Structure 1
């Protein structure tokens, strides 16, 4: 029986969760490689692993995705598929992961994976679903990897939109943490979720995706999971901005993406809730005062 060689670059929480999930498919042989050897599941050299890989999953920070992707391209075969789990904007020209991968590999070899995939829950063998942004051919090649696993893939042809949704849901999840820490109740949280998704429609379009992707697993689905979960660094940051009396040093994927989003679309183009989050996170404005001002508009 032929097996697919899968290389996961990045031995963090999501990289390890994906590795353990793929182990349940007997037709897949996964490996994790990390710059820190303690986080790798193999002692093989990265270049050797790349030459053997049928699939490469990038579970790495957005700041290094371009650099890593260029190294990957030099060693993989022309048939190897590359999938990004990265949720952020690269500081290199403020590009989304989709834009970087398409430029390096082309649309016919890449996918963007996004959705409610909290690593801590995946490790507990709890089922979930996610969106894979890819063309039909690539989706058909990747989908069998997840057969007989606890992750079901939903196909989206909006590659750019799935990448954009992954960035935006992290930013809006911060506001959910703020609301909960302020004890403003479920009514206000309901308002925040509704407004978040409506603004995500606007921003996804500005970032080159389709507005309706805001309502997909990569958008609304992941926002619900990230905003409500105590496993989420974005939610935790929102709470700390309310409860910490000293300086908040925690950085989340969402907070790290805000400056790059502004550079990409302009501060004046931020919708009202996104602007409120910017003021709370970047300007360290009083969270309660800013939320009250937003709700009164």
Structure 2
């Protein structure tokens, strides 16, 4: 692929790691953010120490405070901002862009209130004459490993296969590889909902449980993620792939996962407000839990792990009590699909 110019919106850990991948592939990378000191640090020190203490970025990676400058003449735009601000940033991009680009996003969540997927938000806020079909970049990936060029395989999903192939070629190299997929609903819901299960897996660890419990929560978690996703229109096979079980394994078993660490702290008895304060980064699984719980009630989908985490976070129930209550009442068929089927 010839050299492309890409604006990466969001200089967090994942945005920074993906910027390095794109730079390694010879593309011009422009990182945009709204924290001036962080932008200055990237440009002057070539570091982003809030997320990576020992990593030095290539000098060719430039950071921008002005969105208009970052977007000028770009071929593609990659959103890597928290779910709660995706709509706001999309509005700003729509007001600033003056030409058609490839639009990608690599965030994982569902919008509170609307329950919408991120690609839907981008479709709503950025006019069709300024963008491609949205391409979702998602899968089992820790920024801490990608930034040191560890082997990573993830998915590029879009309703437009050509757009997905463009993104596949944009990112793929000797250590970072993308596989295309047309099931946008499946890839996005898998990426968002696995964060809830990771909180549950972390909570079990914090409570002192071992590998048996870990296997149980991951496997049963995959079942309820699949039930909700299929109800929303996803292909069930997607949940057996990289963006499904792959992402669930990496997020539900690793100390690199902030969702797992949040659950672990809750399981050890820390208060929720202290967990959020100490993390210093967005814990997407917490807000996604509320959205998923509301969707499960609305669509009649049986999601006991999500319900237990919801009760802990939003109803003040003790996490140990919530999980043990779930375990003591879960006498169900392994392949149930809805609340009605599970009774």
After TM superposition, is the score higher than 0.5?
yes
Q: Distance in 1 between matches of 2:113 and 2:290?
A: 13
1:48 aligns with 2:47: no
Q: Once the 2 structures are TM-superposed, how far is the Cα of residue 77 of structure 1 from its aligned partner?
A: 5.2
Written as runs of structure 1 = structure 2, the 5 A alignment for 1:71-110 is 71-76=92-97, 78-91=99-112, 93-103=114-124, 104-106=126-128, 108-110=132-134
1:66 aligns with 2:77: no
1:257 aligns with 2:288: yes
Aligned to 2:12: 12
Root mean square deviation, CA, Å: 2.2
Aligned to 1:294: 326
Aligned to 2:221: 196
Contact 1:59–1:85 (CA<8 Å) still a contact in 2? yes
**TM-score when normalising by structure 2:** 0.80
Other structure's SS at 1:56 match? strand
1:242 aligns with 2:299: no
- Tell me: CA distance 1:7–1:93, structure 2 relative to 1, closer, same or farther (3 Å): same
Q: Distance in 1 between matches of 2:318 and 2:65?
A: 50
| Unmatched runs of 5 consecutive residues or more in structure 1 | none
| Unmatched runs of 5 consecutive residues or more in structure 2 | 40-61, 277-282, 331-343
Q: Once the 2 structures are TM-superposed, how far is the Cα of residue 11 of structure 1 from its aligned partner?
A: 0.6
Instruction: Work out which of the residue numbers 170, 176, 179 in structure 1 matches 2:204.
Output: 179
Q: Distance in 2 between matches of 1:29 and 1:228?
A: 35
Contact 2:205–2:267 (CA<8 Å) still a contact in 1? no
Instruction: Work out which of the residue numbers 304, 308, 311 in structure 2 matches 1:276.
Output: 308
Aligned to 2:143: 119
Contact 2:140–2:250 (CA<8 Å) still a contact in 1? yes
Q: Once the 2 structures are TM-superposed, how far is the Cα of residue 248 of structure 1 from its aligned partner?
A: 3.9
Aligned to 1:22: 22
Contact 2:199–2:262 (CA<8 Å) still a contact in 1? yes
Other structure's SS at 2:34 match? coil
Aligned to 2:155: 131
Other structure's SS at 2:275 match? coil
- Tell me: CA distance 1:9–1:274, structure 2 relative to 1, closer, same or farther (3 Å): same
Contact 1:108–1:137 (CA<8 Å) still a contact in 2? no
Q: Distance in 2 between matches of 1:275 and 1:170?
A: 14
Q: For each residue in 1:117-167, what CA deviation from the matched residue of structure 2 results, as whole angstroms up to 9, or x when unmatched?
A: 111111111011111111211012111112325221011101122111111
